Chains A and B, each alone.
Chain A
Amino acid sequence: MVIAAFNEAKVICEVISGVVAAGWPVVVVDDGSRDDTAEQARIPGADVVRHGINLGQGAALQTGIDYALRRGAKHIVTFDADGQHAIEDVPALIEALGDADIALGSRFLGKQIEGASSSRRVLLRTATLVSNGLSGMKLTDAHCGLRAFRAEAAPALRITKDRMAHASELLRKIKTSGLRVVEVPVTVRYTEHSMSKGQGGMQAVRILFDYFFHS
């Protein structure tokens, strides 16, 4: 289980506790946080990898994936640090890897989005449309942070977009590598905290810029 965290000291301990209680080995990548995210993540017993400087979510996830692979992980699950995902959804993702290489969580495939405003739904739908256009795939949700993939698929899915454009990059790589992909319905719980960390409309423009121009 890979969790990328940036300035999440307030909630990380609780989130990791839930993951550890469910029995998943977990690595937290502290992406150069200015608060005590790393210490808070160690309390429930996570392995913590610390970036000396802030590089972005894409870079942090890839660092966590590298670490997990070096520890011999067979499956990689990415999970958001802000507590928006439900740990109960993880077994379904792993199960879906039985006949797929990568399983993507989808917020629009039946289950609930708790606490999302209608403007947020529109933004997410738009992001999905743009992302499908860029990647040439037909998915119901492009940018859910909850995903699982087999260790063998990791080299083909290597993230080079350091910041937020990694989600679109991932889809493009799935498409070009011909990996088998499935979508699994997941629950997302938007809290005040996760909303404050979420991506708004202006950031969406920045993400598009990153996708085309940045490493």
Chain B
Amino acid sequence: MIIRVLLLIGLAAIGWFVFLRRNRLPLHIVTVFALLAVAAVAVVSPDLTQRAAELVGVGRGTDLVLYLSVVSMSFILIHYYSKFVELQRKLTDMTREVAILRAELERVAPPRPEAP
């Protein structure tokens, strides 16, 4: 089936990308590859997700996968949102610090005329 090939190529591409940027802790790499392996198994034998779904009381395997991905995406979104807010606060603090220091420096040592 074409869709299986496409999905497996996508998973392999993610794996290759992570492998190229392997400057992280080994634990991260192992976790990512484990997740990719689980995804690949689910692609190759969909009956497994179907059985897992029935086990937890969801109708179809695809629904289970959808629910899990929505929840994990939301986690990821919140994680990066709070990082973004934190980063913005740091940027404000840094910009303020630099601005005030520069202004105070200019009071004691007026800026030189710009070089031609």
Contacts and interface: CB of A to CB of B under 8 A. Distances in A.
Given A47-B107, A162-B92, A214 B99 contact: no
A50 B85 contact: no
A9 B91 CA distance: 25
A125 interface: no
Interface in A45-94: 47-53, 55, 59, 62-63, 66-67, 70
Contact of A55 (B95, B100, B102, B103): B95
B107 A63 contact: no
A102 to B, nearest CB: 22
Nearest to A52: B95
B94 to A, nearest CB: 9
B55 to A, nearest CB: 39
B104 A63 contact: no
Interface string B81-111: 0000100110110011011101110010000
Contact of B100 (A53, A70, A162, A214): A70
Contacts of B92: 55, 59, 162, 215
Name the interface size band of chain A.
Answer: 20 to 34
Contacts of A62: 96
Nearest to A62: B96
Given A160-B89, A215-B88, A52 B98 contact: yes
Nearest to A160: B89
A1 interface: no
A215 B85 contact: yes
Nearest to A58: B92
Contact of A53 (B85, B95, B103, B104): B95
B84 to A, nearest CB: 9
B99 A50 contact: yes
A162 B95 CA distance: 12
A215 B96 contact: no
A49 B103 contact: yes
Nearest to A47: B103
A34 to B, nearest CB: 16
6 contacts: A51-B95, A52-B98, A53-B95, A59-B95, A66-B100, A67-B103
Interface of B: 85, 88-89, 91-92, 95-96, 98-100, 102-104, 107
Q: 4 nearest interchain CB pairs?
A: A49-B103, A63-B96, A49-B99, A215-B89
